[in-house]
Amino acid sequence: MLDVLSNRTYRHLFLAQVIALVGTGLATVALGLLAYDLAGANAGSVLGTALAIKMVAYVGIAPVVGAFANRLPRRAFLVSMDLIRAGVALSLPFVTEAWQIYILILLLQSASAAFTPTFQATIPDVLPEEKDYTRALSLSRLAYDLESLASPALAAALLTVIGFHWLFAGTVVGFLASAALVISVRLPQSRAVERTGSIYAKTFHGISIYLRTPRLRGLLALNLAAAAASSMVIVNTVVYVQSKMQRPSTDVPFALAAFGCGSMLVALLLPKHLDKRPDRPAMLAGASIMAIGLFAGITVAGLAAPVEWPAFLLTWFAIGVGYSMTLTPSGRLLRRSAGSADRPAVFAAQFSLSHACWLVTYPLAGQLGAALGMAPTFAVLAVLTALGVIIAWRSWPAKDHDVLTHSHPEDEAFEEHLAEGERTGNHSHRHPFTIDDLHPKWPNHH
């Protein structure tokens, strides 16, 4: 898997991602402590509002940026977003009111919503071979999982010698280092396409391609399944461990680590599997494992105390396995489903739509857990995950070929295009098919 790091450009981009992730992780810990410092017992309300602002920024900003990202110089744009994020992180220690946190979080997350899809859309152009790109996706998944384990531990270690305000300095350093690494390489620029139409049409161009592509409609349903399962883990782990099982707060990281270890194991093993097999069976199997894990959670919640803890850890491990199997290959689907010019917009659509799923499932998991208890919450989220699996299975054709035979209207404007690919008739031909200006509709036969 590490062979892909021999590519200098990718190596620098991957290091930029890892360093920025660690910086963001430190900021997450520091933000919680800052909220408590400002609001005391109301810190949960402040953090909840901040998380809601983050999700709204992710859902709303990403498509707007995706519409124009292919017309901007990539390197300068990514560096600018890193510098904005560093500036916001530098300001956070000086806030004295909760509303100031909300404004800064909106700025920070808007910059992240602009940076992340553009960064993700750059990697397929840096690594055009699918084998290399698959390994890059697994490395990215590993980086996210390791960050979720390492950042809290690093923050805990740092807090023994410094005040929490200084953790934001680590975030600033992370974003500045990320910017320096991006500056150090030359990035391929996607082919700019001047689009006609309203700002609305340009903004939703990526989402339009996404929703007209069968495999991506399947991916959206799998995003919903992953959001439902991971929301149970992210929102309710602390409640389950401390309130339901009456275990100490020091056991919460072990529960989250069980989820992370399952995810990392799959990220290590998946590339070799995907070299020989298509994405659809692996992703549907992963989402099914999440659903089974959540249904099993209903039983786990009723077990006796000595058995419940190991069973709970095993359930979280299984959900982590399914989560990584479902989401790690998603970049391959996006890469196959858009040309270079449209790729930033389609990656932005995935970023926006997947976070829209979390915007629904985060509060759902929290409210259900508080109102009904753990077993009913497991049941509702398991049904939602299973529903995602069923919709994905029906939306995404089993025979999902890249090269499709299709016809065009009898029009001179299409004559030059018909000469491309393999001609199959007077007005039909076959070639790798993606939704674009010349192909507004997916062929009926798959």
212-396 has which CATH code? 1.20.1250.20
Encoding tokens for residue 330?
Answer: 């998603």
What is the Cα–Cα distance from 229 to 378, expressed in whole angstroms?
9
HEC string of 385-411?
A: HHHHHHHHHHHCCCCCCCEEEEECCCC
How high is the pLDDT of residue 197?
58
Q: What residue spans in the chain does CATH classification 1.20.1250.20 cover?
A: 7-203, 212-396
Q: Residues 144-165: what's their mean pLDDT?
A: 78
In this prediction, residue 53 carries a pLDDT of 85
Query: Torsion over CA of 305, 309, 314 and 318, rounded to 10 degrees?
Result: 100
The answer to whether 109 and 54 have CB atoms below 8 angstroms apart is: yes
CA distance from start to end of the chain? 33
Do 67 and 345 form a contact (C-beta atoms < 8 A)? yes
Structure tokens at 396: 């995404």
Check residue 374 and give its pLDDT. Answer: 92
Q: Give CA torsion, residues 209, 215, 221, 226, to 10 deg.
A: -110
Q: What is the pLDDT of residue 42?
A: 73
Residue of 145 and 196 predicted with greater confidence: 145
Q: Which residues of 28-51 are buried (b: 16+ CB within 10 A; e: fewer)?
A: bbbbbbbbbebbeeebeebbebbb
pLDDT in tens, 272-324: 888 888 999 999 999 999 999 999 999 999 998 889 999 999 999 999 999 99
What integer pLDDT is reported at residue 196 of this predicted model? 55
Best mean pLDDT range from 21-35, 162-176, 322-336: 322-336
Kindly state the tokens that stand for 208: 């339009």
Q: Check: CB of residue 340 under 8 Å from CB of residue 189.
A: no
Those residues with Cβ within 8 angstroms of residue 350's Cβ, 6 or more apart along the chain or in another chain: 117, 210, 216, 219, 223, 330, 334
What kind of fold does domain 7-203 have according to CATH? Growth Hormone; Chain: A; (1.20.1250)
Q: What is the DSSP letter of 197?
A: S
Q: What is the pLDDT of residues 427-445, one digit of tens each?
A: 889 998 999 888 989 987 5
Let me know the angle formed at the C-alpha of 210 by 207 and 212, rounded to the nearest 5 degrees: 110
Asked whether residue 255 carries a pLDDT value surpassing 80, the answer given is yes
